[in-house]
Amino acid sequence: MVKISKHSFGKTFNGIEVYNYSIKGDIEVIVSSYGATIVSLYAPNNKGEMKDVVLGYDNLNDYENNYKYLGATIGRCCNRINQGKFKLNDVIYKLAVNDGDNHLHGGIKGFNSKVWNAEEIQDGVKFSYFSKDGEEGYPGNIKVSVSYIVKDKALQIIYEGESDSDTLCNLTNHSYFNFGSDILENKLKINADCFTENNEYSIPTGEVLPVENSPMDFRSFKRIGEDIDSEYYQIKYARGFDNNWVVRDYDGTVRDVAEVIDAISGIKLIVCSDYPGVQFYSGNYLDGSSFGKNQVPIKNRSAFCLECQYFPDAINHNNFVQPILKKGEKYCKNIIYKFENI
């Protein structure tokens, strides 16, 4: 039996009321109408205790300054777009740039900084947002929704959208996971034989490289910290792991993408998705300058992300699966976080 409750999270700087929703079953997720954000995610450890396994903040004002995107819904297009430019239907579009000369995670005021409408649904909550034509430079009016549904020991996230003209759409969740111990001791497996090569600015070159015989090989369980300080050029560029892995045998259906095991808590996370890629980020740019729940500093490499997605800058690389949403077509993508105990 899933129970849903609603609580005020305060008002934004502009005076807009924000609400948090608890969705409680075998696991519990707390989600916010600000940024359609995952604030907390409670899963059982090997002692049967419920542990919050994601980073977040105690108050709304910190989320309004959430430049690390903790738990947020990212859109209209997640990850980076080179120079904030792309060509669609022979028209060149210039997006807002907020990462040097590049466009990152939807721009200066992406979906993560919007107050979404909310409604309770069966076993969950559905958030909706209307993004106007030209917002952050994107073409088309687009209606999007994010549904959070708890079933057994899993959280399912359903992304839906429809636009009145051709546009880009690449929505993901940016939760940072920590199971209560040093993430460098966690063991990770990614179901991918290849990854997309980046330049020094974290922009894909267009090359897809094999993980074999490289520190990027997570085809079997490996400690996150084992190769994180490698001299390998991709790791040096990012100060750790921050690349897109190519999901093995991608066919558009939901499949296991990655698994993480924390031996101390006994928590195992299985990430499932119908996206073609997953960004593994080892928290390299967390720097302790901000404070999370209970005023704990958010330190370097204190959490990791597994962001299911279309590839970064895909629109500018014809050999990548394209994140184009055609006029009138339905966008529907899924991410599932399943929890087990070892």
Catalytic residues: 174, 307
Structural tokens at position 148: 């959070």
DSSP H or E stretch at residue 42? strand 37-44
What is the three-class DSSP state of 185?
helix
CB-CB neighbours of 89 under 10 Å: 9
- CA dist list (Å): 29 to 40, 98, 125, 155, 233: 6, 30, 10, 8, 38
Question: Which residues does 248 contact at the CB level (< 8 Å), separation at least 6?
Answer: 191, 192, 193
What radius of gyration, in Å, describes the C-alpha atoms of the chain?
19
Distances (CA, A) of 118 to 6, 106, 140, 202, 314: 10, 21, 23, 34, 31
Token pair listed for 118:
């909310």
Which tokens hold the place of 23? 């969705």
Tokens of 302: 């204190």
Phi, psi of 136 (to 5 degrees): 60, 15
Q: What is the DSSP string of 261-311?
A: EETTTTEEEEEEESSSEEEEE--TT--SSSB-GGG-B--TTS-BEEEEESP
**Residue bearing tokens 């529907």:** 332
